[in-house]
Chain A
């Protein structure tokens, strides 16, 4: 038969996405040479961080064949709870811990609703999204918080997460990469990762192979909440204040980063490295279009078309490969 070795489809999507990154860089630097100055690139990298983080979480959930619409609200909760506690005198460490517990609880609830009670993920996470946003608003009694201040601990918080640099690169970038590496390892090399791919591919067969579907679903949702939690902290560090509307629409940006990076919304496939490319494309488009002085409305249209095109491409490619099955 002599079937030649082909690059797997997932790898092909990832490579396409990275090629996209390169092309965009070239195009935008032609339109405005300031784009590729060292400082601009560093700022660009830092702008990728939030999209990369939420993209990782959404990727985990998409691979299980589900979706997480509550990411933006969890981000908001994280920022608001932490900011409110700090402004009311607690140490940043305790504030972060409290925030962590609340955010992970949302992830767990999503897991229970979808994994145990089998609610459609869209509806379940739409519910937690709305509730989460409400909690973010209630955290400081329906007000945005004051600035968390420049006292020692608070300043350290801002520097570690956003303003500071290590080895010439912003801290946030390192943090995002470390988090990416950890979740990449889990997904590609551990049992939990295998279970996550399995339930996205065929949940019935996975169950009959002994996979605990509830556990795997919940793990994915908790990863997603964790990533949203961290992104909330980064957002807070950047602005210095708790904003009740922090994170609005971030669940969609997360989907975009995942989908552009080759993660299929149908589940069972996709490589986490693609999310790096996906988030980068997104951030570069935002930034590049701003540098090129394109009005906001056009930016949204361009970006929306891109997401649809990526999903379309994925679906067409899947249907295309149903043709040449083994002869029978």
Chain B
């Protein structure tokens, strides 16, 4: 048993009405990176929360570095034993500085006062170990892009001398350059004898870094072994329990007439003069590094952010968009990047979420919501998207990530929009649900809807789009054909910071 850094046996966990984990095991060696794989709802996060002390197990044994854990494990103990989790959703205090966040709860004191100098120094040192040399420790975290914040979170965990690092979807918000850097760090930690659990849905990137794999499904342990011993198809089959033949189902595009024209869009510092056209029946992909401005461009088109200048023309008519309500009414909708913050009202029911932007379709003249119409709308959404839910009255926040995203999409499918924009359509979603979202995108395409997707996952944007626009530093730097372009070419465009054009 003591050859393992972490050994979990026969772990079972109940929540009211649900058996989240059923006799699950996990064996992690020192100096090893293990991928913990499984669909959303498989129990990966639950298992890791038990390891880090956030949840208590109902039965089973845990041994960390040979120390058998007697009774319940709380977060303090887990931390002392060297376990640290980097969460998928960042836990940064947005108003505090980088150094403050890194020392949160363990502030250094000298002579009765906070030792800012030492905390700043150590923060800079730790960030440098991660290869980040241009981040001042007194930067307010809230001003940093998400990718940077995550780097601070990783640095914070390392500062506590974690020996077992659990990384939950670490790359989902990072640019490719940052991902490479993160891989470098992970390999460095591995060579120092750390044990790393790597939870990710980005199966294509695992081979860079992963030694072994443990696969879960529906709260059960399925299998474990050396990563090299599995083919990708076998892994997916184990995760899903069935074969997924095509990861990126792409239908043939029949490019119709020009539907959308964006002319010289400018918004703040992130959108510096964007012009493009979009056609009926095509999927237009936007690709760029973190901070390139893709999300900001879409938000400006949708009216979520104010624009400084520029025109949006739909079917030849210039649109007047000053708010999302305007955009929605005139036929442009957006499924936002941050699902929890901007996409759903998590406390409200599924029904209320789907109905919210469509109340104009299901109300009578005095504003009363017509239940019959509403129920029909919900049924249609539920069946066309195969959303897994007990009933439509449960809170939207109680669903898994994949199902939550389907609710966000269902909201917009209920209307006949001309342009549907997806910002990171499959972030944090398991393989099977991803394919379902892609199929919806294809369906929309077939109906003649203009689909725009913004994605930081190159395989996704290359696999699903018919045409790709690459952005860098607020400008479009290249237009490529996904069928013939290479990842390198896209990367080149995405790093063209010195682009001309005023």
Residues of B within 8 A of A205 (CB): 341-345
Residues of A within 8 A of B6 (CB): none
The A117-171 residues at the B interface (CB cut-off 8 A) are: none
B341 near A190: Cβ-Cβ < 8 Å: no
Chain A 85-125 interface 0/1 with B at a Cβ cutoff of 8 Å (1 = within): 00000000000000000000000000000000000000000
Which of chain A's residues has its CB closest to B399's CB? A326
With A198-B345, A208-B304, A268-B345 in contact, is A328–B44 under 8 Å at CB? yes
Q: Please measure, in the bound complex, the distance between the C-alpha atom of A281 and the C-alpha atom of B329, giving whole angstroms.
A: 45
Q: Which of B15-23, B26-34, B248-256 contacts A (4 or more CB under 8 A)?
A: B15-23
Residues of A within 8 A of B397 (CB): 325
A208 near B348: Cβ-Cβ < 8 Å: no
A326 near B357: Cβ-Cβ < 8 Å: no
Q: Please measure, in the bound complex, the distance between the C-alpha atom of A5 and the C-alpha atom of B394, giving whole angstroms.
A: 9
Q: Please measure, in the bound complex, the distance between the C-alpha atom of A190 and the C-alpha atom of B370, giving whole angstroms.
A: 9
Residues of A within 8 A of B411 (CB): 209
Q: Which of B20, B304, B341, B360 touches A327 (beta carbons < 8 Å)?
A: B20
Distance (whole angstroms) from the CB of B28 to the closest CB of chain A? 20
Q: Which of B40, B55, B367, B391 touches A328 (beta carbons < 8 Å)?
A: B40
Residues of A within 8 A of B304 (CB): 207-208
Residues of A within 8 A of B343 (CB): 205, 208
The verdict on B443 contacting chain A, using a C-beta distance below 8 Å, is: no
Q: Please measure, in the bound complex, the distance between the C-alpha atom of A195 and the C-alpha atom of B355, giving whole angstroms.
A: 11
B391 near A209: Cβ-Cβ < 8 Å: no
Q: Please measure, in the bound complex, the distance between the C-alpha atom of A177 and the C-alpha atom of B419, giving whole angstroms.
A: 47
The verdict on A37 contacting chain B, using a C-beta distance below 8 Å, is: no
Which of chain B's residues has its CB closest to A318's CB? B347
B348 near A268: Cβ-Cβ < 8 Å: yes
Q: Please measure, in the bound complex, the distance between the C-alpha atom of A209 and the C-alpha atom of B411, giving whole angstroms.
A: 9
Distance (whole angstroms) from the CB of B418 to the closest CB of chain A? 15
Q: Please measure, in the bound complex, the distance between the C-alpha atom of A189 and the C-alpha atom of B46, giving whole angstroms.
A: 38
B393 near A190: Cβ-Cβ < 8 Å: no
Q: Please measure, in the bound complex, the distance between the C-alpha atom of A144 and the C-alpha atom of B111, giving whole angstroms.
A: 62
Q: Which of A190, A191, A206 touches B345 (beta carbons < 8 Å)?
A: A206
Residues of B within 8 A of A326 (CB): 18, 41, 398-400
Task: Specify the main secondary structure of chain A where it touches its partner.
Answer: loop
Distance (whole angstroms) from the CB of A115 to the closest CB of chain B? 13
Residues of A within 8 A of B394 (CB): 3
The verdict on A295 contacting chain B, using a C-beta distance below 8 Å, is: no
A194 near B219: Cβ-Cβ < 8 Å: no
The verdict on B1 contacting chain A, using a C-beta distance below 8 Å, is: no
Residues of B within 8 A of A192 (CB): 367
With A3-B18, A328-B400 in contact, is A194–B359 under 8 Å at CB? yes
The verdict on A33 contacting chain B, using a C-beta distance below 8 Å, is: no
Residues of B within 8 A of A4 (CB): 17
B325 near A197: Cβ-Cβ < 8 Å: no
Q: Please measure, in the bound complex, the distance between the C-alpha atom of A5 and the C-alpha atom of B347, giving whole angstroms.
A: 17
B369 near A189: Cβ-Cβ < 8 Å: yes
Size category of the B interface is 35 or more
Residues of B within 8 A of A191 (CB): 359-360, 363, 367-369
Q: Please measure, in the bound complex, the distance between the C-alpha atom of A210 and the C-alpha atom of B357, giving whole angstroms.
A: 6
Q: Please measure, in the bound complex, the distance between the C-alpha atom of A324 and the C-alpha atom of B56, giving whole angstroms.
A: 12
The A54-106 residues at the B interface (CB cut-off 8 A) are: none
Which of chain A's residues has its CB closest to B326's CB? A210
With A3-B18, A325-B397, A326-B399 in contact, is A208–B347 under 8 Å at CB? no
Q: Which of A2, A194, A201, A210 touches B325 (beta carbons < 8 Å)?
A: A210
Q: Which of A201, A212, A324 touches B348 (beta carbons < 8 Å)?
A: A201
Residues of B within 8 A of A206 (CB): 345, 356
The verdict on A202 contacting chain B, using a C-beta distance below 8 Å, is: yes
Which of chain A's residues has its CB closest to B335's CB? A208
Distance (whole angstroms) from the CB of B300 to the closest CB of chain A? 13
B329 near A327: Cβ-Cβ < 8 Å: no
The B287-345 residues at the A interface (CB cut-off 8 A) are: 302, 304, 323-325, 327-329, 334, 336, 341-345
Q: Please measure, in the bound complex, the distance between the C-alpha atom of A194 and the C-alpha atom of B353, giving whole angstroms.
A: 10
With A208-B342, A210-B325 in contact, is A328–B352 under 8 Å at CB? no
Residues of B within 8 A of A325 (CB): 15, 397-398
Q: Please measure, in the bound complex, the distance between the C-alpha atom of A191 and the C-alpha atom of B374, giving whole angstroms.
A: 12
The verdict on B117 contacting chain A, using a C-beta distance below 8 Å, is: no
Distance (whole angstroms) from the CB of A269 to the closest CB of chain B? 6
A210 near B329: Cβ-Cβ < 8 Å: yes
B359 near A204: Cβ-Cβ < 8 Å: no
B352 near A324: Cβ-Cβ < 8 Å: no
Q: Which of A204, A209, A324 touches B18 (beta carbons < 8 Å)?
A: A324
Q: Please measure, in the bound complex, the distance between the C-alpha atom of A5 and the C-alpha atom of B391, giving whole angstroms.
A: 9
With A3-B390, A190-B363 in contact, is A198–B352 under 8 Å at CB? yes
B15 near A327: Cβ-Cβ < 8 Å: yes
The verdict on A1 contacting chain B, using a C-beta distance below 8 Å, is: yes
Which of chain B's residues has its CB closest to A207's CB? B324
Residues of A within 8 A of B398 (CB): 325-326
Q: Please measure, in the bound complex, the distance between the C-alpha atom of A286 and the C-alpha atom of B15, giving whole angstroms.
A: 42
Distance (whole angstroms) from the CB of B411 to the closest CB of chain A? 7
Interface centre among A4, A198, A328 (most CB of B within 10 A): A328
Residues of A within 8 A of B336 (CB): 208
Q: A209-B328, A327-B42 are in contact. List 16 more A-B contacts (CB 8 A).
A: A190-B368, A191-B360, A191-B369, A198-B352, A202-B341, A204-B341, A208-B304, A210-B327, A210-B329, A210-B356, A210-B357, A211-B356, A212-B323, A269-B347, A327-B20, A328-B46
26 contacts between A and B (CB under 8 A): A1-B390, A190-B367, A191-B359, A191-B363, A194-B352, A195-B359, A198-B348, A201-B346, A205-B343, A205-B345, A207-B304, A209-B324, A209-B411, A211-B325, A211-B356, A269-B347, A324-B16, A324-B18, A325-B397, A326-B41, A326-B400, A327-B21, A327-B41, A327-B42, A328-B40, A328-B400
Closest 3 CB pairs of A and B: A324-B15, A201-B345, A327-B20
Task: Report which A residues bind B (CB closer than 8 A).
Answer: 1-5, 8, 189-192, 194-195, 197-198, 201-202, 204-212, 268-269, 323-328
